[in-house]
Amino acid sequence: MSQEIKEREPMFSPKNMRLITNPFNKENPITVQVLGICSALAVTVKFEPAFMMALSVIAVAAIGNTIISVLRNTIPSRIRIIVQLVVVALLVILVDQILKAFSYDVSKQLSVFVGLIITNCILMGRYEAFAMQNKPWPSFLDGLGNGFGYGLILLLVAAFREIFSPSGSLTLPFFGTVKIVPQAFFDMGYVGNGMAILPPMALISVAIIIWIQRSRNEDLQEN
């Protein structure tokens, strides 16, 4: 124990804020760290389930990161993976039950993917890489930031796919369906892209996002 009194770091110091803002761009969990792709692609057919999924992951990442970080000195390193799995599984069961209780339709659409949050690599990755070494407050922010970074990509892909799909509208949570492509276009013979609602389009739209991001930021390019 060192005797010197460390000056308390302010809660929203620039260093802590960076934990939230970095995952939006140069440390994005999906496009840069390549974590948590499975669920990101599968739930993006429509905007609303994607939004719910993003909320669930943000909640599990932030709360789980805090719990792991509080426990970090008491977890024996040999069984840490099991402890992390138990924490995630508990939180995911809670999220699943809440979804079933309050928005049953969305929970049906998400089907197995709520359960798959357990093996979502973002969570285990962040617990292992960040929460095991850091104090609860930064860990909470880190979980929040990574959840937001994940959610951002999810919402972008979902919006892209739903706007270009044959319906040409966007189902916003709490607002209902909003028509994006005006009816006049359809009258003139515009046809939505049926491909957009099929699975391969999710991969291609993530690839486009990666392309745009990496051509703007050359540090991220692989050689």
Partner 1 sequence: MELFNLFIESIFIENMVFMYFIGMCSYLAVSKTVKTSIGLGIAVVFVQIITVPVNFLVNKYFLVAGALSWLGPEYADVDLGFLSFIMFIAIIASMVQLVEMAVEKFSPALYNSLGIFLPLIAVNCAILGGSLFMQEREYETLAEASVYGLGSGFGWMVAIVIVAAIREKITYSNVPKPLKGLGITFIITGLIGIAFMSFMGIKL
**Footprint of partner 1 (CB under 8 A):** 31, 34-42, 81-82, 85-86, 89-90, 92-93, 96-97, 111-112, 115-116, 118-121, 124, 198-204, 206-207, 210-215, 221-223
Angle between the N-to-C axes of helices 199-216 and 136-164, in degrees from 0 to 180, rounded to the nearest 10? 120
In the block, tokens 């508990």 appear at: 90
Sequence-ordered list of residues with C-beta below 8 angstroms from that of 132, at least 6 positions apart, any chain: 68, 69, 72, 75, 80
Shorter beta-carbon distance to partner 1: residue 131 or 201: 201
Query: Do residues 142 and 134 make contact, with C-beta atoms less than 8 angstroms apart?
Result: yes
Query: Do residues 5 and 126 make contact, with C-beta atoms less than 8 angstroms apart?
Result: no
Shorter beta-carbon distance to partner 1: residue 180 or 207: 207
Shortest distance in whole angstroms from residue 35 CB to partner 1: 7
Shortest distance in whole angstroms from residue 50 CB to partner 1: 13
Shortest distance in whole angstroms from residue 31 CB to partner 1: 8
Shorter beta-carbon distance to partner 1: residue 104 or 185: 104
Shortest distance in whole angstroms from residue 43 CB to partner 1: 9
The string of DSSP codes covering 10-55 is PTT-HHHHHHHHGGGTTT-TTTTS--SHHHHHHT-SSHHHHHHHHH
Of 83, 70, 81, 89, which Cα lies nearest the Cα of 138? 70
Shorter beta-carbon distance to partner 1: residue 23 or 36: 36
Shortest distance in whole angstroms from residue 206 CB to partner 1: 5
What are the tokens at 218? 């050359």
Of 29, 59, 19, which Cα lies nearest the Cα of 149? 29
Shortest distance in whole angstroms from residue 164 CB to partner 1: 15
Q: Helix (H, G, I), strand (E, B), or coil: what is residue 141? A: helix
Shorter beta-carbon distance to partner 1: residue 178 or 208: 208
In the block, tokens 């948590």 appear at: 36
What are the tokens at 99? 């979804």
Shorter beta-carbon distance to partner 1: residue 141 or 158: 158
